[in-house]
Amino acid sequence: MDTKESYAVVTGASQGLGKAFAENLAQKKINVILVSLPNQNLEDLSRSLEELYDIKTHYYETDLSVNENVMKLTEWLNRSFDIHILINNAGLGGTKRFTEATPDYINRILQVNVTATSLITHQLLPNLLKQPRAYILNVSSMAAFSPIGFKTVYPASKTFIHSFSRGLHEELKDTSVFVSVVNPGAMKTNTDVCKRIEKQGFLGRMTLLNPDKVASYSIHQLFKKDSVIMVNPLSWLLMKILPIWIKLPLMTQAIKREIEA
């Protein structure tokens, strides 16, 4: 594929898995457009990727929990660039008793995880369909395969992403756009996250992943046209084997330990 004048878009690109996606694409000499919240050092990352890998980069800072911002972003992208890869990585998690969650907390998770992903995909799809070959990768989660107490909204939002991706894959299978979904577990994005996950006990520690490895494997499988990417086969097997009446209380207890700690 000639990628000299076309771009990959990565949302949530300033840190963690999103940053790892951007770096992995840059290593493959693919131009990237980085999208993230303001004040996340996105300009520095953009400049360093250009210098290290001799590619073109652009960046766009915005809050994807606001629909108007999403529309402005996609208008700018469609007006300015040919896009052949879209990685919908931006997402919000959160661990909280539902009774203690504010309406804003609930709304932000749904807006970023569900609405922004759907709208960005919808608005950029005509651009992607113009390319000889194009890819969409949506980041779901292992949480998509079980409800979890004390998280409630987050797993439900990731179930949506998984279902949305599978449906869109089927709808677009006879076009030039290939759609995939990746379902990672918790990742070693920073020290705080590692400590928090380890408080969940064995179940949490078993699923803790390295973002660089997840990004590398996911992009490799995306280009191999793997429509459902599982980066942790052991935890996936457990999720498949364990009935809901076992895994739901197990996972809820792990999250409860995290809250109490």
d(CA 177, CA 115): 21
Percent of the chain with pLDDT over 90: 71
| pLDDT computed for residue 220 by the predictor | 97
Is 237 part of any domain?
A: yes
d(CA 31, CA 85): 10
Of 19, 151, 158, 247, which one is the catalytic site residue? 158
* Mean pLDDT on 171-186: 94
Is 1 part of any domain?
A: no
Which of 222, 196, 217, 226 shows the shortest CA–CA distance to 208? 196
Is 225 part of any domain?
A: yes
158 catalytic per annotation: yes
Beta bridge partner(s), residue 61: 36
| pLDDT computed for residue 190 by the predictor | 54
Is 182 part of any domain?
A: yes
Is 134 part of any domain?
A: yes
Domain that holds residue 53: 6-260
Is 33 part of any domain?
A: yes
Higher pLDDT, 189 or 230: 230
| pLDDT computed for residue 151 by the predictor | 86
pLDDT tens readout for residues 43-102: 999 999 999 999 999 999 999 999 999 999 999 999 999 999 999 999 998 888 999 999
Which of 232, 248, 222 shows the shortest CA–CA distance to 185? 232
How many domains does the chain contain in total? 1
| pLDDT computed for residue 194 by the predictor | 55
Is 66 part of any domain?
A: yes
CA dihedral over 147, 149, 155, 160, signed as positive or negative: positive
- The CATH number of whichever domain residue 90 belongs to comes to 3.40.50.720
* Mean pLDDT on 180-207: 65
| pLDDT computed for residue 202 by the predictor | 52
Is 216 part of any domain?
A: yes
Q: pLDDT at residue 188 above 70?
A: no
d(CA 146, CA 240): 10
135 catalytic per annotation: no
pLDDT tens readout for residues 9-49: 999 999 999 999 999 999 999 999 999 999 999 999 999 99
Beta bridge partner(s), residue 6: 82
| pLDDT computed for residue 154 by the predictor | 95
pLDDT tens readout for residues 109-152: 999 999 999 999 999 999 999 999 999 999 999 888 887 888 89
Q: How far is CA 229 from CA 12, 69, 148, in A?
A: 19, 30, 22
Of 7, 59, 60, 154, which one is the catalytic site residue? 154
| pLDDT computed for residue 261 by the predictor | 62
CB 120 within 8 A of CB 73: yes
